[in-house]
Amino acid sequence: MLKTFVTSFKLQNTYRTNSIIYSIKQLPLIKRILPNRLYSSKGLKTFAGIISILWEIISIFIGKIIYIAAMIFGVMSWYKTNQADTFIHLFTFLTLAGGVLNTYMLNPTKDKYYAIILMNINAREYGLSNYYYQLLKLIIGFLPFTILFGWMLGVPLWVQILLPFYILVTKLIVMNYILYKFKKNKKAISENLPTKFVWSFVGACLLLAYGLPFLGIVINSTIFLFVSIIAILLGIYSLIKIHNFKEYRKMYKQILTESNVYMQEKANGTQAMKDNSLKQIELDAKYTSNKTGFAYFHDLFAKRHKKILTEAAKKQSAVILVIITAMIIGITINDSFKTKTNEFLLIYLPYFVFIMYLINRSSSVTQAMFMNCDHSMLTYRIYRTPKVILGIFKERLKTLITINLMPAVLIGGGLALLLYLSGGTDNPINYVILFISIIAMSIFFSVHYLVMYYLLQPYNVSTEMKSSTYKVVQWLTYIVSWYMIQIKMPTFGFGITTIVFCIAYSLISLFLAYKYAPKTFKLRI
Amino acid sequence: MKLVVKNLKKNFENKVVLKDINFEFEKGKIYGLLGRNGAGKTTFFNCLNEDIEIDAGEFFIEDNGKQRKMEAEDIGYVLSTPNVPEFLTAREFLKFFIDINKKRIKNKKTIDEYFEFMKIEKEDRDRLLKDYSHGMKNKMQMLVNIIANPNVLLLDEPLTSFDVVVAEEMKQMLREIKKDHIIIFSTHIMELALDLCDEIVILNKGILEEIDKNNLDNDHLKNKIIDALKEEN
């Protein structure tokens, strides 16, 4: 097994090293200077290899510290309960959610696909050795931070040390349960496509984790000790079962399908979950259209992809309605909440840039457009004539804006209404500005993603993302939106600026799209 | 009408793929493009289809002595792996294609007539393309390219995924339409090239050359082609 592990580690490292060289080569300007020979250049290979190993080491820690800092430490101030106990409480329940969402073993990664499916490496040895390695990384990665954050909050030392092991055994128990189910019904599910049951379980865990402390209920270290002991006993039992499980090959054959693996590749991080709906595209022939030409083509696309287009927006709208209603009730029954809301609405408009960024569906919609449509259509030369490209672009723009406007109108209208109900404002134009700036943001993100897609078309024919520039733009969009959270600015000034910016940006980028898309919108070869 | 290629060059960094392509493809003929694996057949097609930039040279259409740029409408490219929009039915896909090519289509037929022409069965016409087999998708791809009526038709290994019956039908169909088109047909199968194509063109070491068929029986011609393909420059 050790030999298999060493082979797989080398394989992963080679893949990562080549990916690093490839990404460097994809950067604008640089790509012109660097030759293909790079892949055989020893010096650069060593350099990329070192970066790859450094990244491996850093990645052991980085995710963990962000997780504890953001999900646990960062919310401590919400609660009045004992800090050490709250820490243990949140950790206990979030670990359960994490246990079912991230099993390591069932994650359809490319390296698994290459090794098990393409290179025929022993699936059990590959799966297990990598699984153990992941678990080892988990302990090493968590321990320093459970000790650090635990110490800061006065958590007993033995709990600080026990926590990573608690995570470990939770993962083992979940894994064993999945294997047990697989033995019974022979069905394995990629962990990037969680079932409804998994989502409900995760939802319940989150509710128990973040909800109970509000009611003053938290788990203390004694209960945690009790839970841990049971979990450890079950964990040891699970480990033996996992180790002796024989059907890894069969299981991996089901999980490591091309669509699963490539979906993983395209969707980054949280999007993997958000976009599992991509798989559930409704290819139902019963939807038809009476339009012609581009409008016909696009209309059918939109109708048959309702799930990821309109239905997602409808769900968002429902959630927004619930939140706004809850806020209205809050305002009517609680005076301090009312004043706070009023204050909030008049200085926290920048915050909504980030919210509008989060709820905008354009990024995943353009992904679906590529995978289920342009991927095949771009091979037809006639589809790439300016008339067709721009014709379909226009239809898509209309749809994207409309879809995203649905929740945006609710948010904009809701905010204006809340402002009114929470005591109003001296300057009535604020109502209009709140509403219009939210709409402007929504249109901005729709235009932004679609234009970027047309100008940078980042995918190749096997639907792999091949443009570093596109990734950089995605990151910049995120960073700028996130940065807005920190800004407090009067709604009036910020609103006007936003509206002007959004209009200007949209006009300029549409102009660029019309001018350049016929040249840039093609498959990457 | 002719497709004229002059001094076309394409390198991938230091690797010379197309060294110096000079050729005139004429209307009314099917050209069999033969070449060894990696010889650059697909690259040549990709260049003509403007999927990739060429490094030097030019290609254009020559019609009644007048030269003009090859436009998107002039070219149809059938790839070896079929690419069809899976969310449409065969009928919808055809409708869309006919809509956007309306002005160019001569002797427009009804959608069902096109299906008949391509021998696509009634019960398959309203099925989603995602449920089509590889060969059926290929048929559709071929059909839309023929409907669009491009002057130049590039076919990259198009018959390999068809069963023997369909392959025969397709050959027959290509013979029927060749009088209005310039058809360039890449393949690895020599028998197919000899059977179907009017001219045999060999891509070797980045150069395109025609094999003179004159007065050679099939066996001699085969040997000549193999010798040409083996030739080291």
DSSP A195-252: -HHHHHHHHHHHHHHHHGGGGT----HHHHHHHHHHHHHHHHHHHHHHHH---HHHHH
Q: Length of chain B in residues, anyone? A: 233
Q: How far apart are CA B145 and CA B77, in angstroms?
A: 7
The structure tokens listed for A209 are 């984790």
Q: Length of chain A in residues, anyone? A: 525
More confident residue, A74 or A403: A403
The structure tokens listed for A326 are 């809850």
Q: Is the pLDDT of residue A297 over 70?
A: yes
The structure tokens listed for B179 are 């009088």
**Lookup result for tokens 């309605």:** A321
Q: How far apart are CA A159 and CA A148, in angstroms?
A: 12
Q: How far apart are CA A465 and CA A476, in angstroms?
A: 17
Q: Is the pLDDT of residue A167 over 50?
A: yes
Q: Is the pLDDT of residue A269 over 60?
A: no
Mean pLDDT of A473-482: 89
Q: Are A361 and A305 in contact (CB under 8 A)?
A: no
Per-residue CA distances from B126 to A284, B76, B132 (Å) = 11, 24, 11
Q: What share of chain A in percent tops pLDDT 70? A: 90
More confident residue, B177 or A188: B177
Residue A310, judged by CB atoms within 10 A of its CB (0-12, 13-18, 19+), counts as middle
Q: How far apart are CA A465 and CA A86, in angstroms?
A: 42
Q: Are B211 and B228 in contact (CB under 8 A)?
A: yes
Task: Give chain A's count of helices (H) and strands (E).
Answer: 22, 0
* Amino acid in position B22: N
Which of A107, A89, A93, A276 has its CA nearest to residue A175? A107
* Amino acid in position B31: Y
What is the reported pLDDT for A38? 65
Residues of A in contact with B145 (CB under 8 A): 380
CA distance A10 to chain B (A): 29
Judge: A296–B83 Cβ closer than 8 Å, yes or no: no
Q: pLDDT (tens digit, 9 = 90+) per residue, A188-229?
A: 777 766 778 888 899 899 989 988 888 888 988 899 999 999
Q: Are B94 and B141 in contact (CB under 8 A)?
A: no
Which of B169, B180, B219, B221 has its CA nearest to residue B32? B221
**Residue A512, CB-side half-sphere exposure with 13 Å CA sphere:** 16
- For chain A, the average pLDDT equals 85
For residue A486, give the DSSP letter.
Answer: G
CA B25, B29, B30, B34 dihedral sign is negative
Residues of A in contact with B92 (CB under 8 A): 296, 300
Indicate whether this complex's ipTM tops 0.95: no
The structure tokens listed for B33 are 């493009």
DSSP string, A43-84: HHHHHHHHHHHHHHHHHHHHHHHHHIIIIIGGGGGG--S-HH
Mean pLDDT of B182-211: 89
- CA closest to A281 among chain B residues: B87
What is the reported pLDDT for A188? 76
Q: Are B36 and B25 in contact (CB under 8 A)?
A: no
Q: Is the pLDDT of residue A277 over 50?
A: no
* Domains of chain A by residue range: 61-267, 307-520
CA B50, B51, B57, B59 dihedral sign is negative
Q: pLDDT (tens digit, 9 = 90+) per residue, A33-49?
A: 666 666 667 777 788 78
Q: How far apart are CA A449 and CA A212, in angstroms?
A: 39
* Amino acid in position A232: I
* pLDDT band at residue A321 using 50, 70 and 90 as cut-offs: very high
| Helix, strand, coil share of chain B (percent; to 5) | 35, 30, 35
What is the reported pLDDT for B103? 81
Q: Where are the alpha helices (DSSP H) in chain B?
A: 41-48, 90-100, 111-117, 134-147, 164-177, 190-196, 218-230
φ, ψ for residue B38, nearest 5 deg:
80, 10
- For A381-402, b/e burial (b = at least 16 CB within 10 A) is bbbbbeebbbbbbbbbbebbbe
Q: How far apart are CA B200 and CA B211, in angstroms?
A: 6
Judge: A296–B100 Cβ closer than 8 Å, yes or no: no
The structure tokens listed for B113 are 């007539």
Strand partners, B204: B207
CB contact residues (below 8 A), chain B span 45-104, against chain A = 46, 49-52, 72-73, 75-77, 79, 83-89, 92, 95-97, 99-101
Residues of B in contact with A304 (CB under 8 A): 87
Q: How far apart are CA B73 and CA B63, in angstroms?
A: 15
Non-local CB neighbours of B197 within 8 Å, separated by 6+ positions: B30, B31, B32, B185
Residues of B in contact with A381 (CB under 8 A): 49-50, 72, 75-77, 150
* Amino acid in position A393: F
The structure tokens listed for A249 are 């090959």
What is the reported pLDDT for A26? 67
Q: How far apart are CA B154 and CA B189, in angstroms?
A: 16
Q: Is the pLDDT of residue A273 over 70?
A: no
Q: How far apart are CA A103 and CA A194, in angstroms?
A: 11
What is the reported pLDDT for A17? 79
The structure tokens listed for A284 are 């139902």
Residues of B in contact with A382 (CB under 8 A): 72-73, 76, 97, 100-101, 148
The residues of A whose Cβ lies within 8 A of any Cβ of B are 35-37, 281, 283, 285, 292-294, 296-297, 300-301, 304-305, 372-373, 375-377, 379-382, 384-385, 387-388, 522-523, 525
Q: Where are the alpha helices (DSSP H) in A334-467?
A: 335-347, 351-359, 362-369, 375-377, 386-421, 429-456
Judge: A385–B144 Cβ closer than 8 Å, yes or no: no
For residue B122, give the DSSP letter.
Answer: G
Q: How far apart are CA A460 and CA A467, in angstroms?
A: 9
Mapped onto helix, strand or coil, the DSSP state of residue B208 is strand
* pLDDT band at residue B115 using 50, 70 and 90 as cut-offs: very high
Mapped onto helix, strand or coil, the DSSP state of residue B149 is coil
CA distance A19 to chain B (A): 19
* pLDDT band at residue B57 using 50, 70 and 90 as cut-offs: very high
Which of A437, A387, A393 has its CA nearest to residue A412? A437
Non-local CB neighbours of A14 within 8 Å, separated by 6+ positions: none
Q: Is the pLDDT of residue A276 over 50?
A: no
